[in-house]
Structures are given as C-alpha cells and as structure tokens.
Amino acid sequence: MRKRIGILIPSILMVIFLAGCSLNEPITKESTGFWDEYFVYPLSWLITEVSDFFNGNYGLGIVIVTILIRTVLLPLMIKQTKSSISMQRVQPEIKALREKYSSKDQKTQQKLQQETMQLFQKHGVNPLAGCMPLIIQMPILLGFYHAIMRTEEIANHNFLWFDLGNPDPIYLLPLIAGLTTYLQQRIMMGGTDSMEANPQMKMLLYIMPIMIVVFAITFPAALSLYWVVGNIFMIAQTYFITLPMKNKESNATGGAKK
C-alpha cells in the first residue's frame, strides 16, 4: 500500500503544480520573472509565430510546435532509454550482491555500496545518467504547458470542431487523450507478465488515463490537443525506437547466455 501511495503522490503533486495560480496570468513579452522570461514566453512566441505562418491557425500551430519540441527532446529520450537498458543489464549482479550482503549492519552495507559502485564502473554504468535527461526535459515540457494555457490569442481561435479556449463540447478530445495515454503506457510497460510482476505499474496504467480524461473535460481544448499530439508522438517513438533498442539488448543478452 505504501508503494502505491508513493506512486500516486508525485502524480497528484504534478497535477496541483500544473493547475497553479500562475496559469491565470496571461503571458506577454512584458512578463517578468526567470520562469516566464526564459521558458514560458519564448515558447508562447514560437506557437504564435508558427500559427501566424499558417494564417493564424493556432490549433495547427500547437500541433507543429508539439512535434518540434518532442523531436528536439528525442536524443534525450534515447539517452534515457540507453541508461535504463544499462541498469537492467546489471540488475542480476546487483541482486546477487544484495543477497551476499544481506546483513543490515553498517560495515556490511558499506561493503555492499563499495562493490555496487565497482560493478557500475566495471560495466560503465552511471546510475544518475537516466535522471539528467528527465531533469532537462521537465522545464521545457512544463513551460510549453504554461505557454498554451497563458497565451490569450489561443483562447480566441477554433480548430476542427472545438474552441481552443473552451473544453471540447462533445468530449471526444478528452477521450482520445485518455486512450492515447493508456496506449502509450501499455507499450512502454511491456507485456502482461511485467505488469503482473509489478501491481503498481498495472494500477498506474488505469489511473493516469482516467486523470487525464477528468482534467481534459474541464481544461481548455488546446491543452487536450497538446496531450493527444504528445501521446501519439511518444507511442510512435516507443514503438519504432525504444522497443527495438530493448529487444536488441534482450536478444544480445539471451545469445550471450547461450
């Protein structure tokens, strides 16, 4: 139960942060503060410029800029995937070390830490390498979120069947956002066996899409559009890049064992 709470708390905190009071303040070139000046306004400006290029089509502008940002961040995602694969490769040896040094006394735990670090050095694995790409990505993605919510011009335009500044009246976009969130997580988590081995992953698989649908129903459709496009990009990225990398590593490891 504690592990489940540990997964839910960061998600809830993230939603609270995204729904913060600053979203009520329009973003302009006169906006002050490090966050607004160097993250939110440049992204808002980019959306506006791309939209103006397409005759003021802000919906198309959001789609194109979302794809552009995800493409720019793609090398970081690939690096994060490689780091994750490297960590998975040494997990059996780490497990063996933990069983070897199962005692909880201080000297034994120090020995465990020393040999674990030696193991990382031997295989060229940096346990912190997977965190850096995520740390770099988050300000950009959150800044883009704020740019969409706080750019006043977006709220005054339509795209397809909905107003960008109002929730989707027929709830189709929120449902697509929830479905693509589910598909993205399902592909990233792998098959049924991995989810059965980790009940927390299975729980998150259903909770996140429901949360996305609930918020997308009440938030402006521009944000739902961003979620849908970002999810579709991530699904394609996982299917064509991440999974082949993991399968290649798995096949190489299986061949080495034989």
Of residues 82 and 155, the one with the higher pLDDT is: 155
- According to DSSP, residue 31 is labeled -
Tell me the residue ranges of DSSP E strands in the chain: 158-159, 162-163
Region 81-97: what's the mean pLDDT? 75
The token duo for 125 is 């694995």
Residue pair 182/209 in contact (Cβ under 8 Å)? The answer is yes
- Nearest to 160, CA basis, from 222, 218, 217, 209: 222
Angle among Cα 133, 21, 49 to the nearest 5 degrees reads: 60
What's the DSSP call for residue 171? Answer: S
Least reliable range by pLDDT among 67-71, 138-142, 150-154, 201-205: 201-205
- Contact in structure between 97 and 112 (CB atoms under 8 Å): yes
**What mean pLDDT, rounded, does the chain reach?**
76
> What's the pLDDT band for 250 if we cut at 50, 70, 90?
low
Q: How confident is the model at residue 79 (pLDDT cuts 50, 70, 90)?
A: confident
Looking at residue 63, what is its pLDDT?
Answer: 93
Per-residue pLDDT reduced to its tens digit, 5-53: 344 445 444 544 444 445 568 888 888 888 888 888 899 999 999 999 9
Give the model confidence (pLDDT) of 98-113 as tens digits.
777 776 777 777 777 8
Query: Is the pTM higher than 0.75?
Result: no
Mind listing the pLDDT tens digit for each residue in 172-215?
999 999 899 888 878 776 544 444 545 666 677 778 888 888 88
Q: Which pLDDT does position 68 carry in this prediction?
A: 92
| 226-240 residue pLDDT tens | 889 988 988 888 878
| Contact (CB, 8 A) for 167 and 148 | no
pLDDT, residue 51, reads 92
Q: What is the mean pLDDT of residues 52-59?
A: 90
Place of tokens 């995937």: 81
In this prediction, residue 117 carries a pLDDT of 82
CA–CA gap between residue 22 and residue 102 (Å, rounded): 49
Q: What is the pLDDT of residue 50?
A: 93
